């Protein structure tokens, strides 16, 4: 027995040997994805090495139960994404649920404190990251090879408790028939100085966390507060009630010249249909990093680490891109092939929003809400209180309908601004159901409820 063989045998006996799952012959599903995306198989160079994990993990995973994953992928997206994983790890069964924030974070953490496990892997913590962190409820992923080797700084926790799941760039979609390229702002300050953008030219939705939160983190609170005030008072955008997706459609229709904030991937969907729309980003580019973590102490820790290692590999990241167009977090895949508008991103300074940014969300909204209400005239709107029964609930609680003074009234329920309780407890708007008896506080002529209290 030579020295190398003896060493491997010793490591294997200790359960420490790195065990590759054969990658030389790609799964048929991976080949299909590469063909669909018009990518060469050579893009997966080094995949064999990336998929090496300790033999001990594989043994424990084979003896474990179903791996439970709670996330926000659509079910069809998840099924497509994990086809290559199933081909490589047929012994690993997965139970997946597209879950609300309440299910992913609140209920999972409550169960964990009672030594019950509702999930092994959770994504999209939002502000709930700090609840997990303070309870010491997240597993250290530093020993996951792909976490260690594939993910750049800023897209993972230095302590190993979270890693980027997917990226979303938020900037400006604009109507190409109405906007001259020469007027596109190089920096965010250019919107203040170029009068071509002033006077109802921009449709703005009340989602400051999608772009201003990153600028706050990059430039600081003083700069951001001044910018918010100047933007609303000098640029005078149309202050709209629609969602971000609807705003892109309205920009296509010419309702305004540009929509803010807009996601790159959503704008690209309209471009692919031939719509007169494109996407532009001033510098720094606001980038949201959605996070993934492993629940600490779960009996399926080994299986969770195997899945995470695959997901962070080139194959896993390309599979996610093929399923939902999310740009990869893998350091070698942050290239033009995986960006909807590469020229608007590559080479520019990036302003990240990771879980730690949630610490300043309350400060941002406190400053922003006052300015929004003043400039939208909402601070002068009388609030009314209605005790009623919900007639309809749409879009997972984003919109509710009820009768008031004999007429049907429809209001929006914000996930961050509307104070919502059910049975006296703070709840997610997805828990709202038609037939609930509620007390609703809303502007007399406005569309967004200030408070909703249901029994």
Higher pLDDT, 74 or 35: 35
Nearest alpha-carbon partner for 157 in 46, 57, 294, 334: 294
Same structural domain for residues 240 and 367?
A: yes
Residue 148 belongs to some domain of the structure = yes
pLDDT at 26 over 60: yes
Instruction: Dump pLDDT digits (tens) for 420-447.
Output: 999 999 999 999 999 999 999 998 877 8
Q: What is the pLDDT of residue 15?
A: 38
Find the range with the poorest average confidence among 7-16, 47-56, 329-338, 430-439. Answer: 7-16
Q: Average the pLDDT over 261-279 and give the result.
A: 94
pLDDT on residue 24: 55
Residue 16 above 60 pLDDT?
A: no
CB atoms within 10 A of CB 147: 21
Q: How far is CA 246 from CA 250, 267, 268, in A?
A: 6, 11, 14
Q: Is residue 370 part of a domain?
A: yes
Indicate if 124 and 16 belong to the same structural domain: yes
Select from 78, 76, 125 the least CA-distant residue to 103: 125
pLDDT digits (tens, 9 = 90+) for 158-208: 999 999 998 889 999 999 999 999 999 999 999 999 999 999 999 999 999
In this prediction, residue 195 carries a pLDDT of 96
Q: What is the pLDDT of residue 281?
A: 97
What total of structural domains would you count in the chain? 3
Task: Answer yes or no: is 349 within a domain.
Answer: no
Residues 261 and 129 occupy one common structural domain: no
Highest mean pLDDT among 160-169, 295-304, 398-407: 295-304
Q: What is the rounded distance in angstroms from the CA atom of residue 289 to the CA atom of residue 326?
A: 11
Residues 24 and 162 in one domain: yes
Residue 220 sits in the same domain as residue 309: no
Q: What's the CATH number where 441 sits?
A: 2.40.50.140
Q: What is the mean pLDDT of residues 372-386?
A: 80
Residues 332 and 389 in one domain: no
Give CA separation, 124 vs 137, 159, 162, 275, 373, in Å.
15, 18, 10, 31, 29
Whether 83 shows a pLDDT value over 80: the answer reads yes
* pLDDT (average), residues 298-305: 96
Residues 137 and 67 in one domain: yes
Average pLDDT value over all residues in the chain: 90
Judge whether residue 397 has pLDDT over 50: yes
Q: How far apart are CA 398 and CA 242, in angstroms?
A: 11
Task: Give alpha helix (H) positions in 339-411.
Answer: 361-376
pLDDT higher than threshold 90 for residue 126: no
Residue, of 127 and 103, whose pLDDT is higher: 103
Same domain, 412 and 436: yes
CB atoms within 10 A of CB 440: 23
Residues 262, 173 contacting (CB under 8 angstroms): yes
Query: Per-residue pLDDT for 8 more than 50?
Result: no
Give the whole-angstrom CA distance, residue 171 versus residue 278.
Answer: 11
Is the domain of 332 the same as that of 395? no
Confidence of residue 381 (pLDDT cuts 50, 70, 90): low
pLDDT at 220 over 70: yes
Assess whether pLDDT exceeds 60 at residue 22: no
pLDDT of residue 9: 37
Return the percentage of the chain with pLDDT > 70, whole number.
94
CATH of the domain at 51: 3.40.190.10
| Token pair of 324 as six digits | 């939902």
Q: How far apart are CA 54 and CA 42, in angstroms?
A: 26
Distance between CA atoms of residues 33 and 39, nearest Å: 8
Residue 354 has pLDDT above 80, yes or no: no
Residue 172 and residue 27 share a domain: no
Residue 357: is it exposed, middle or buried by C-beta count within 10 angstroms (0-12/13-18/19+)?
buried
Residues 159 and 172 reside in one and the same domain: no
Cα dist from 347 to 18, 283, 336, 341, 416, whole Å: 37, 10, 11, 12, 33
> What are the start-end ranges of the E strands in 383-450?
383-394, 399-404, 407-412, 419-422, 425-426, 437-443
**3-class state of residue 260 by DSSP:** strand
- Tell me: do 153 and 298 sit in the same domain: yes
pLDDT at 4 over 80: no
Q: Flag whether 129 is in a domain.
A: yes
- Confidence check: pLDDT of 314 > 90: yes
Residue 100 is part of which domain span? 3-167+289-344
Q: What percent of the chain clears pLDDT 90, i.e. is strictly above it? A: 76
Q: What band does 25 get if pLDDT is binned at 50, 70 and 90?
A: confident
Task: Answer yes or no: is pLDDT of 311 > 70.
Answer: yes
For residues 336 and 271, the answer to whether their CB atoms sit within 8 Å is no
């Amino acid at each position: 027995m030579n020295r190398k063989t003896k060493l491997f045998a010793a490591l294997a006996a200790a359960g420490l040997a790195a065990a590759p799952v054969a990658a030389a012959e790609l799964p048929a599903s991976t080949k299909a994805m590469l063909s669909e995306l018009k990518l060469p198989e050579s893009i997966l160079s080094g995949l064999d090495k990336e998929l090496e994990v300790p033999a001990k993990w594989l043994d424990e995973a084979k003896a474990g139960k179903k791996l439970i994953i709670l996330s926000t992928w659509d079910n069809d997206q998840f099924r497509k994404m994990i086809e290559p994983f199933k081909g490589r790890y047929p012994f690993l069964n997965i139970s997946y649920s597209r879950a609300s924030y309440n299910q992913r974070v609140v209920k999972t953490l409550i169960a964990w404190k009672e030594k019950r496990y509702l999930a092994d892997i959770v994504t999209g913590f939002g502000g709930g990251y700090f609840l997990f962190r303070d309870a010491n409820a997240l597993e250290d992923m530093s020993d996951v090879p792909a976490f260690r080797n594939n993910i750049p700084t800023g897209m993972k926790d230095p302590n190993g408790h979270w890693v980027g799941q997917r990226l979303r760039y938020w900037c400006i979609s604009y109507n190409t028939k109405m906007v001259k390229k020469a007027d596109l702002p190089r920096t965010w300050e250019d919107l203040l100085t170029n009068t071509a953008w002033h006077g109802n030219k921009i449709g703005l939705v009340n989602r400051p966390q999608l772009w201003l939160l990153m600028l706050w983190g990059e430039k600081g609170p003083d700069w951001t507060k001044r910018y918010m005030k100047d933007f609303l008072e000098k640029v005078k955008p149309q202050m709209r009630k629609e969602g971000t997706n609807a705003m892109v459609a309205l920009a296509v229709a010419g309702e305004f010249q540009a929509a803010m904030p807009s996601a790159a991937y959503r704008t690209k969907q309209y471009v692919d249909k031939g719509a007169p729309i494109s996407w532009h980003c001033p510098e720094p580019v606001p980038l949201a990093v959605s996070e993934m973590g492993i629940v600490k102490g779960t009996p399926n820790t080994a299986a969770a680490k195997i899945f995470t290692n695959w997901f962070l590999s080139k194959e896993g990241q390309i599979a996610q891109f093929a399923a939902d167009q999310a740009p990869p977090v893998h350091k070698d895949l942050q290239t033009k092939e995986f960006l909807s508008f590469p020229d608007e991103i590559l080479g520019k300074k990036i302003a990240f929003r990771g879980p730690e940014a949630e610490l300043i969300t309350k400060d941002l909204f406190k400053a922003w809400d006052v300015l929004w209400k003043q400039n939208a005239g909402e601070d002068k709107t009388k609030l009314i209180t209605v005790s009623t029964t919900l007639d309809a609930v749409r879009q997972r609680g984003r919109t509710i309908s009820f009768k008031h003074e004999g007429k049907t009234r429809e209001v929006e329920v914000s996930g961050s601004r509307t104070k919502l309780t059910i049975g006296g407890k703070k709840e997610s708007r997805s828990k709202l159901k038609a037939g609930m008896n509620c007390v609703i506080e809303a502007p007399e002529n406005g569309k967004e409820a200030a408070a909703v209290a249901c029994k």
